[in-house]
Every structure is written in structure tokens, then in C-alpha cells.
Structure 1
Amino acid sequence: MISLPASFSFFKSNHQDIVRALLAGVLIAVLSACSSPPVSVKTPPAPSAIIANAPPPSLPLSRETPPTPREFRATWVSTVANIDWPSRRDLSSDKQKAEIITILDNAVQMKLNAIVLQVRPAADAIYPSSIEPWSEFLTGEQGRPPSPYYDPLQFWIEQAHERGLELHAWFNPYRARTAQAKTVAAKNHISKTAPDAVKQYGDQLWMDPAEPIAMQQTLSVISDVVRRYDVDGVHIDDYFYPYPIKAANGSEVEFPDDKAWIRYLQSGGNLMRADWRRANVNHLVEAIYTTVHQEKSWVKFGISPFGIGRPDRLPAGIAGFSQYDKLYADVELWMAKGWFDYLAPQLYWPINQTPQAFKVLHDYWIAQNVQRRQIWPGLYTSRIDHSDKSWPAEEILNQVDAVRERGGNGHIHFSVISLNQNRKDIRKRLMAEKYTSQALIPAMPWLNSSNITAPQLQLSDDRKTLQVALADVANTKLLAIWKRTDQQWLFSVQPATKLSIDTSADPQAGAIRQITVMAISRSGQESQQASVQFP
């Protein structure tokens, strides 16, 4: 997630073989940073595709590679209220860039493989747009570009891809102004250009989901970004209709959409008001899914809803805030229709908090996944802090294990600040205990199931490097590399723009006896293998 409304704290507190016929004994988890050296892994892992079996060093290794390790490991980067980046509204362009490099380098060091970057916090933009103004969280004044001028989103994408990381553009679909806003709205902000579509709700401005111009604005913004930028994904959060606020007497304040509601009734509409609101949100979600894939079929569409589903479907013992009734988010319908490529339900509660038990809720969302899309839960890593109510680092470590134990293949941390600050050693412990080698992001064959051509390999004259030639350059995103020594297999990933592989001995594992390379498509599909043997 995701920027949190003031009222949200209440809901959270209650909210491959290596030897196919040899061994299956000593487990190793295989996952390593995109630009870091391959690392052998020896920690006991969970039973999923990210696991491989390693024979004892005394036995010769099979020339057949292990299964490719897969796990989505991402972090949200919030721009709203300067939660993560930029850290302040008055930073120079160079300092903004330096912070970007730090975040990305830390992600590589941690062996993450994706960044979910908030590019539209409140009907504004952290990139040059002809549709919406520059965000005040970027420059201190809405509508003011960075100085010296640069395109932050383009810089994020280039630097992420250079490091083999995916960049998912995160949009808030309806929020138009936050309580943290300090400057007046720019003249091209939707509150100025289409004031009737924007409603005051508490200390925020909100685009009315029932107003066609509001929906079209969001679709235009997303389409524009997907068309102009090489993003790997589009991501929306849980802010559909706003989280309800309360009046002085304790009653909930109704969202002020009377005008659109009356217009709907007069047009012959016969839905109940709650169903009508859900239909408005459903229409947007389906339209985003369609629009994104019409622009670029390989771009992933992800949604990160609140972590508790429909009240009438919840497992026994689960209770809490109903996004179905209050945010008008019918996530179960979206799952049934397959209107997303991955779902990141915000499971922001401890494993042992019974009314919102992490494992129970994770199982619930898995059970709803009839279209077999990816389920990558959001983890509330920022709950590790210096307060009396801080979580121990073990809570997040255990949640990573819990997801893997259920066959899960990914998760997202909210948010990157907790990782950058290494609160209670969480970053170091994730690196040492959970993210001990690299992994590819799980494939999404429904986006593009066509085969990708295997790379061609040529050993250099000095035998120090292996040169890679690609037949399908446009559709090749990464190279997945296995190196075999006398003792173990080593896995690594590098961007497809880097077409040279070092053949020198590994400092710890010894001389390289075999290198096997696969091209990885934009949708995560693997090519046939290309291998070179060494004496």
C-alpha cells in the first residue's frame, strides 16, 4: 500500500533436480541480486518453485540444470507525503536522483526484483504530463517541474532496468488532494478543470467514481504512461471510494454523490445505491485491465486491495473492516472475472492476531483465485519501527515463510523506508535468511504464451567471457544463468542489455564447468537452454 488514511490504523490493529535422480535432501533457496555475483544458497527453504536440491560436494553434479527459481520480491515506494521518495519537497534534482540510486542499489543488494513506484499520488504526476500537473510532493509546489529539469519516471525506469529490476507504475485511482497538501491546486488539476467531478470529503478532495469524466481522467493518465514509458506493470491501490470518516456525533459521513445518484435513477437505473457504487468501481477496474493490455500486452496489471474480503464469505473467526461495503470494492468479482494479473491483498496484521490472522486471510485469497492469477500479498514491514507497538523483525520473516509454505511465489513490502533504514536489522535478516540468491519473477503465460528463441553462445578467444546473441531482442528482458562447478549450481540473473558473462572461477565454489543460459521474455516465459561445457 500505500499511503494510509488516518482512520486506517484502527483497521490494522483489529486488520530445480540439480540431480534429477540423485538427491532430494539438502535444500537450497536460489535467489541473488541482479548485479551481484552468483551466490550458492544453503538455507532450509519452503516447498515452492524457488527451491532446489543440492548433492553433497563429493558427488559429481548432473549437467541438467535445476528448475528456474521464481519469486516476486518487491517493495512499494510512496511519493505521497514524502513517505519514501523524495524524502523532502525541497530536494534538488541531483539529490532526488541520489535517493533513487540508493533505493535501487539497496533493492539489488537485497535481491529484490521489482519496485512499485507511486507515480500519481493525488491526480498529479511525478513525470511530465499533458493531463495532470507536477506533484507538489516532488517540488514543493503543484505544477512546478524539477529544477534542473529531468524526467523522474524515466530516470527510475532506466536505472531500475539497468539493474535488472522491474518498475511498476502505481496510480491512486480517485484521490485528488490529500490532507498533507500545502499548496494551491494548479490550473490544470482536475479540481479546476472539472470541479463538478471532484468532491470534498473531510480534509481530502476525491474524484467521484460515478462521474464519467473522473473515470476517463484516470484511464487517460494510465494509458498515457503505458504508451510513453517502458513500465513493466501498472498498479492501483485500495483507495476506491474513500475510507469513511465520522461526524462529530460518531455517525459515518456519507460520500457526497447525490447528484450522480439522482441522475442514475432518472436514467432508469434500478440498482441499490451500494451496488451502483460497486458497479462504478468494477467498470474502472475492468477498463484499466483492458486499456493496459491494449496498449502493451506484456504490461502487468496489479491491484492491492484491503486485506479482508466480503463479509458473507469470510472464514470463521475473521472479522474487521468491510471494503465491500465501505470502499465498494468487489475484489472477489474481479478475481472471478480475471481483471488483473496479480493481486496484492494488504495482509497488514500479525500471524497470531486471530480476527485478522495472516495465514487464514492468505488462504482465503488463494481459495478465491479461480482464474489462477498471481497472489502476492502485501506485508506491513513498516510496522517495524521504534514505537511501543512495533513488530519484531521475526513477524515479517515468519510471514515470508508462511507465504512460501502455502506454495506462494511472491510478496511486496510496505514500504521501502523500513528496508532502507534496516529497522531492527530487517533488511540484513531478509538478505541472510530469506533472500539468499536471485529469483525470476513468476511467469504470466496468459499475457503472451508464444515461445521465445534460445540465445546463442560464443566463447571469447581468451575464454574469459561468454558472449550472448539474441534472436528476439525486443521481447527478451532478462538472461537467466546457471553456472555449474564441481560442487554446486550457481544461479544469477542479468538484464538482456548485458550480453557478456564472466567465465572465471567462483571465489568460493571453484572453477566453472558449465554455463547454461535462457532468454526470459517480457511475460516471464523461458526459452530453450543454451549451454557451454568447460574441461
Structure 2
Amino acid sequence: MKKLRKIITLVFIFTLAFLLFSVNTVDAALVNLKKANGDNMLYSHDGTPVLINEPFERFEREFRGTWVTPLVGNFPKFENEVQYKQAFTSLLDNLEVHNYNAIIFHVRIMNDALYDTELSPKSTYYKNNTSFDAIPWMVAEAHKRGIEFHAWMNPYRVTNGFNGNYSAINGAGIPANPASDPNKLIVINNQVILNPGIPEVREYLYNVVEEFIQKYDVDAIHFDDYFYINGVNESTDQAQYDAYNPNGLGRADWRRSQVDIFIKELSEKIDAHNEANNKTVQLGISPSGIYRNGNGNVTYDANGNAITTGSKTNGMQHYGNYLYSDTLKWINEEWIDYILPQAYWGFERAPVAGFADVMGWWDKVVKYKDVNLYAGLGPYMALDGSSSDSWKTNTDNELANQTKYLNTLENTQGFSIYSYTHYMRGLNPNDTKFYRMFQNAHNVSYKYPVLLPEKPISNKINPGYVTNFELNINENGHKVLSWTKNPLAFTYGIYRTEGEFTYSGDELIAVLNQDATSYVDTSSGFDNRYAIVALSRSNTKGEPSLVEAELGPNEYLINYHNISLRSYSKTDLVEGFLKDYYFFVNPDESLEQFMGNDYNGTWLNYNLIYRRNSKSVNNSSEYFINQDKFNYRWLPLLEYVNLVL
């Protein structure tokens, strides 16, 4: 690129509204969230107002995901390779509509597998397949689009439909699988799980996860809220309680400790895998939304550990009976990389569990910990929730309002939608309830590109600079950025500003996939500066590379009412105009004759450029400038072209 030598500014006698662009930067302000009746929404624990950002403050990073599972029918059973690939490709296309960047896909549902393994039986949702292992292809296709693939596993669950026949349950015929031994199972009514209190069960699950992450290049192992099951009593696990309780813990504490051991040791094994193989696999947990019902207050010890009795709620809690999951401990110990509580309620669901009461509490809990926090959002509540829930009383705006609220939280870095079924409904204009819901959220937030949050893992990968970053102008007058592919890039962020870079969300104009080597900016203006940043598989940003428009001694920057429109050399500008005019006139003579030496050719004989005072688009007109495909390009420059010619 060359130095700027010459700027020609032209003020034309005509104006075109569609060529005038303005950019207004408005600082976000905190305003009171209103209930359906017009009253201020208040936090339950202290009575202070719930605030949202108005307008929305664009962030640079955000996790945008959804849960996908054949269990509830939002992804089809495997029929054949072509059908399965088409379904997954459609899924990825659908995620891109709203700029989503993560999929949480169910790969282990009931002690089975939607992938190749000898540790578990093939899932009934994949049994027609005998040769094609879809997971490598699915992961690669997601990554080609800059979308993370989180492998969703239920570690303990075996079946929800037990009929008393142990030999028929998943895993019964596989000696390495604990389900082959009824003594390693917990059975409550028709539900069966692997017994969390048995060391051999843990070892089996470590093997399941380690085999999976060795074979598949996924971004996370993801567990939801299935640990212990409802109905466990003292007789359920008395033998294990007696055999594996050296510290004499009470029953509830002992059960929690069994799940603690599993989470801690699995975390260590995933970390070791990452370090040994230069991988970036996370361990993510999505528990039910309420840890414990408490007073909602959170304090901290000298190590930044959260001290709390729980959120100001009154719903099912996963700390005690029946899930026995101490997620607060997992956060304080940093055994997990992200937590995604299922905060499916609306704002107006207090005192059971108002959305702000739940997510406001979680946001404080992770404050000093290297654990990413995402919110599980429940649009399905617009159908299945309480009649007083704002998912039902304020359906059009609830998702947008929750997005604006998360936008105010210091430590919350994204969300996941439950489920993909309802996300798909939001793409259907005929499904007015969900379509309006998602369109409102799109207009507030989803329309903006975002980078993925950096993974809080020890094995962070710095991708370094992007090399050969250049800015050129194409034949349409658009700015073209190009660069050499960075081998460590998972995605690229493109930034644009007229001043100094802050690398804020307002400057981020595009997020591109790992294979991209160019980007066309169709916006007006040649006063912009550009930056590109590569992000690695750990979503760690490399150092930015910068470029700005520079013009040579025979090049011009044409400004229309102080808005830069086009950058051409004088020769290219005039010849581009005459070539288009030649195409329009379609004369018998050659292009060279039409243009002539020093532009004195036969084009002068055709008075078809424009008629005075009639320069607007009109494709039925006989004049060149009235044609839409020429009008947008040449009307702003017509006076200048005439001047040169």
C-alpha cells in the first residue's frame, strides 16, 4: 500500500438518501426492568430494583449455544449417512441465522453411545448405522464454521424405563460396563443409574471420557443435572456407605463427596490430556438452576471462595436430596471450566425462582474464580411454565429482557437455549409466539457478531500475529481485507474504527472461520482503520495486525458530502465508467473504438448517459444512470467523471 497523496472532495448538486449513512454511538444506561403491570422488578433478597441495559451494550465475547438431543426429538435418529449429514448441516445453518457459536450435542444418553466404542452399547438413536462414525465429521463441520462442539454426556443414567429385566438394560452385555453387574446399580422404581459410590463405576466413567477425548477433537465434556436420582434412601447405598466412608461422614455429605471425587479426578485427567496432547477440552457442568435456597447474600474468604447459604429462592435445590451435587465447591476449587445453571424461569417467577434472583446469585459466586458462567435459558416455559411466569405474561420480550439483564452482569459470559426445538420454532415466521420472541432478541443482541469466551484452562494457546494483512479496493469499490491463513487460528475477529482501537464489541464487525483468508467490507468510508486478531482453540487472542487505506500519487479518494465512497486511480475510474456504459449501449464497434484514445471515442455519439433532473432509478428508462445496477455505482461519481472527461 502506498502513502496518501491526494484527496479530491466533490460536493454534488444531487443527493441520494440511500448513500447517506450515519453512525450514532449511544452509551448504554441502566434502567429499571418493569413487570407486566408496570411496577419495577425487585430482587427478592434485598428489594433493590432489577436493572437492564438500555440500549444494549455490545460485548466483544459471548457464548451462544443450544442443547441438541434426539431424546426429545430435535435431532433425528440415524437412518443413513446422507440423511444424518443433511440434518447436521441444517442445524449448523440454523445456528448461523442468529450468530450462535456453540452446540451442546448429546452423545451419551442412557449408558449408551452415539459414537464408536466398546465400553457402551450403540444408542437406539444410532443403531441403524454399522460403519459410519459421525462424530469426527460433525465436529469438523462445526469447527469449519467457528462453532464449538460440546459433547453432552449423562454419566450415571442407565434407563428411565426399567421393567425388572437386568439383562435387557444398556450395557448389561458388556463386561467392562458396570451395568453388567446389578450390584453396581441403583434402582428406584423404573429408573436405573450407575451407583456413584462405587470406585469401579468412577473408573469406568473416566475410561469413557478419556477414550472419547482421545478419539474426538471436541471443545468440552458437558454434564447436565443427572447425578443421584429421586427416591434414594439409606438402604439404597448402605453397603457402599459402610465400605467407602473413612471420615465417618453423614449420608448426605458422603453422597456429595462421591460425586466430588468423580468431578475432581475427571478434571485432573482432562487437564493432563490437554497438556500431553496440546488440546483445549473443557469440563462443563449444567446443574439445575438452584444450588440451595438461602438468603441470596454472598461474601468471600481471603482466597476468593464464595460463602453463601444459597440464592433467595424456594425451588428444588441440587445440593441436597436428591442430586447431592456441591457445585459451589466445584467452582471454589476450580475443578470445572464452566458452569451453566438451568435458570429456565422468567423474571416474574419469584418467590420460587425469579430469573434475576437465580442468575444474580450465580454471577456473584464465580466473581473471583477462573470458571466461566453461562446462563441456561428456557424459552420452552412460554408453553410449559406457570401462568404467572413472565415467559407467558411477556412472551414477546422475555428473551430480549433476559439478554439485556445478562448484559449487566459482571461475570456472566453467555447463555444456552433449552432447547433446539424452541430455537427452531423461533426461525419459523408462522410460529408467531417464538418467532417474535427470537426476532426481538436478535434485534437487541444476536445480530451482532461475537467472539467466544476464552477457555479458562491451563493449556492456553497463543496464535500470534496474522501475517500479510492487506487492504485493497475491488472492482465494485468495496474494501477487501486479505491475509495469510494462521495455522493456529480457530476463528478471526475483524475490527474497524476511525480512531484508536479499543477492541470493544462496537468495533467488531465480523467473526470468520479458521479457513478464511479475506473479507469484503461493503460499508462506505475510506477513513477507517482495520485490525485482525486470530483466536486459537482456547479462544485466546493473538496480537492484532493493523492496516488502513493508503493511496498512491495517481489515486483519488472521492468523497460525497464528506462520506468516502470510492477509491480509484483516475484512469481506472474513467475506464470503469466507460466499460459499464459500453455494456449498456451495446454498440457494434469494439470497446477500444468506443473509448478511443484520450477518451474521444464513439461514446460521445450516444447521448444516453442521463437526462437533466432525472437521475433516480427507473429500469424502464432509456438512460444509463437510471438503471439500478449502474445508478448505485456511478451516480455519486457522475459529476467527477464528466469533469475528467
Cα 1:218–1:433 shift into 2, 3 Å: same
Alignment equivalent of 1:412, drawn from 410, 413, 416:
416
Alignment equivalent of 2:217, drawn from 230, 253, 259:
230
Alignment equivalent of 1:197, drawn from 184, 209, 231:
184
| Rounded Cα–Cα distance in structure 2 between residues aligned with 1:296 and 1:321 | 35
Q: Is the contact between residue 484 and residue 490 of structure 1 (CA under 8 Å) also seen in structure 2?
A: no
Residue deviations 1:312-353 (CA, integer Å, cap 9, x gap): 544675212221111111111111101111111111211121
Say if 2:322 is the partner of 1:318. no
Aligned match of 1:277 = 255
Q: Is the contact between residue 145 and residue 513 of structure 2 (CA under 8 Å) also seen in structure 1?
A: yes
Q: Superposition pairs for residues 92-491 of structure 1, below 5 Å?
A: 92-139=80-127, 146=129, 149-179=131-161, 185=170, 187-188=173-174, 190=177, 192-242=179-229, 244-245=230-231, 256-264=236-244, 268-297=246-275, 298-311=280-293, 313-314=308-309, 317-326=312-321, 327-355=323-351, 356-369=353-366, 370-385=368-383, 389=387, 391=392, 392-407=395-410, 408-422=412-426, 424=433, 425=435, 426-444=437-455, 446-449=457-460, 451-459=462-470, 466-470=481-485, 473=487, 475-483=488-496, 491=509
Larger Rg: 2
- Alpha-carbon distance, 1:451 to partner: 4.0
Q: Is the contact between residue 449 and residue 511 of structure 2 (CA under 8 Å) also seen in structure 1?
A: yes
Gaps of 5+ in 1: 1-21, 29-42, 52-68, 140-144, 246-251
| Rounded Cα–Cα distance in structure 1 between residues aligned with 2:225 and 2:508 | 39
Q: Which amino acid aligns with 1:236?
A: F
Say if 2:62 is the partner of 1:74. no
Q: Is the contact between residue 185 and residue 191 of structure 1 (CA under 8 Å) also seen in structure 2?
A: no
Residue deviations 1:390-412 (CA, integer Å, cap 9, x gap): 73242222112111122332111
Q: Which amino acid aligns with 2:464?
A: T
Paired residues, number: 457
Say if 2:502 is the partner of 1:502. no
TM-score by length of 1: 0.77
| Rounded Cα–Cα distance in structure 1 between residues aligned with 2:78 and 2:133 | 16
| Rounded Cα–Cα distance in structure 1 between residues aligned with 2:370 and 2:214 | 27
Q: Is the contact between residue 267 and residue 336 of structure 2 (CA under 8 Å) also seen in structure 1?
A: yes
SS of the aligned residue for 1:275 comes to helix
The percent identity for this pair of structures is 24
- Alpha-carbon distance, 1:443 to partner: 1.6
Aligned match of 2:535 = 520
SS of the aligned residue for 1:185 comes to coil
SS of the aligned residue for 1:431 comes to helix
| Rounded Cα–Cα distance in structure 1 between residues aligned with 2:215 and 2:396 | 40
- Alpha-carbon distance, 1:152 to partner: 2.1
Aligned match of 2:48 = none
Q: Is the contact between residue 115 and residue 167 of structure 1 (CA under 8 Å) also seen in structure 2?
A: yes
| Rounded Cα–Cα distance in structure 1 between residues aligned with 2:511 and 2:96 | 11
Q: Which amino acid aligns with 1:272?
A: G
Q: Is the contact between residue 516 and residue 529 of structure 1 (CA under 8 Å) also seen in structure 2?
A: yes
- Alpha-carbon distance, 1:368 to partner: 1.8
TM-score by length of 2: 0.65
Q: Is the contact between residue 315 and residue 360 of structure 1 (CA under 8 Å) also seen in structure 2?
A: no
Structure number with greater CO (CA < 8 Å, separation at least 6) is 1
| Rounded Cα–Cα distance in structure 1 between residues aligned with 2:312 and 2:461 | 44
Cα 1:226–1:509 shift into 2, 3 Å: farther
Q: Is the contact between residue 274 and residue 325 of structure 1 (CA under 8 Å) also seen in structure 2?
A: yes
Q: Which amino acid aligns with 1:263?
A: A
- Alpha-carbon distance, 1:427 to partner: 3.2
| Rounded Cα–Cα distance in structure 1 between residues aligned with 2:28 and 2:179 | 59
Q: Is the contact between residue 63 and residue 101 of structure 2 (CA under 8 Å) also seen in structure 1?
A: yes
Q: Is the contact between residue 94 and residue 424 of structure 2 (CA under 8 Å) also seen in structure 1?
A: yes
Cα 1:300–1:388 shift into 2, 3 Å: closer
Residue deviations 1:43-73 (CA, integer Å, cap 9, x gap): 95444xx34xxxxxxxxxxxxxxxxx11111
| Rounded Cα–Cα distance in structure 2 between residues aligned with 1:202 and 1:512 | 70
| Rounded Cα–Cα distance in structure 2 between residues aligned with 1:524 and 1:417 | 28
Q: Which amino acid aligns with 1:409?
A: Q
Residue deviations 1:160-212 (CA, integer Å, cap 9, x gap): 11111011111112101233999753522836533321222221210000111
Q: Is the contact between residue 332 and residue 369 of structure 2 (CA under 8 Å) also seen in structure 1?
A: yes
SS of the aligned residue for 2:468 comes to strand
Residue deviations 1:206-254 (CA, integer Å, cap 9, x gap): 0000111211121111111111111111111111111x14xxxxxx766
Aligned match of 2:74 = 84
Q: Is the contact between residue 311 and residue 358 of structure 2 (CA under 8 Å) also seen in structure 1?
A: no
Q: Which amino acid aligns with 2:349?
A: Q
Cα 1:449–1:150 shift into 2, 3 Å: closer
Residue deviations 1:89-120 (CA, integer Å, cap 9, x gap): 46333222222111111101110111111111
Q: Is the contact between residue 307 and residue 361 of structure 1 (CA under 8 Å) also seen in structure 2?
A: yes
| Rounded Cα–Cα distance in structure 2 between residues aligned with 1:529 and 1:176 | 49
| Rounded Cα–Cα distance in structure 2 between residues aligned with 1:164 and 1:180 | 41
| Rounded Cα–Cα distance in structure 2 between residues aligned with 1:386 and 1:335 | 31
Q: Which amino acid aligns with 2:225?
A: D
Q: Is the contact between residue 305 and residue 344 of structure 1 (CA under 8 Å) also seen in structure 2?
A: yes
| Rounded Cα–Cα distance in structure 2 between residues aligned with 1:513 and 1:366 | 37
Q: Is the contact between residue 103 and residue 148 of structure 2 (CA under 8 Å) also seen in structure 1?
A: yes
Residue deviations 1:280-307 (CA, integer Å, cap 9, x gap): 0001111121111211252222111111
Q: Is the contact between residue 420 and residue 427 of structure 1 (CA under 8 Å) also seen in structure 2?
A: no
Aligned match of 1:25 = 26
Q: Is the contact between residue 115 and residue 135 of structure 2 (CA under 8 Å) also seen in structure 1?
A: yes
Q: Which amino acid aligns with 1:176?
A: V
Cα 1:381–1:179 shift into 2, 3 Å: farther
Q: What is the CA RMSD across the aligned residues, in angstroms?
A: 3.1
Residue deviations 1:426-476 (CA, integer Å, cap 9, x gap): 3333322321111011123553456431110254998685442356x2x42
| Rounded Cα–Cα distance in structure 2 between residues aligned with 1:253 and 1:261 | 12
Residue deviations 1:335-379 (CA, integer Å, cap 9, x gap): 110111111111121112112111111121122223142111111
Cα 1:502–1:95 shift into 2, 3 Å: same
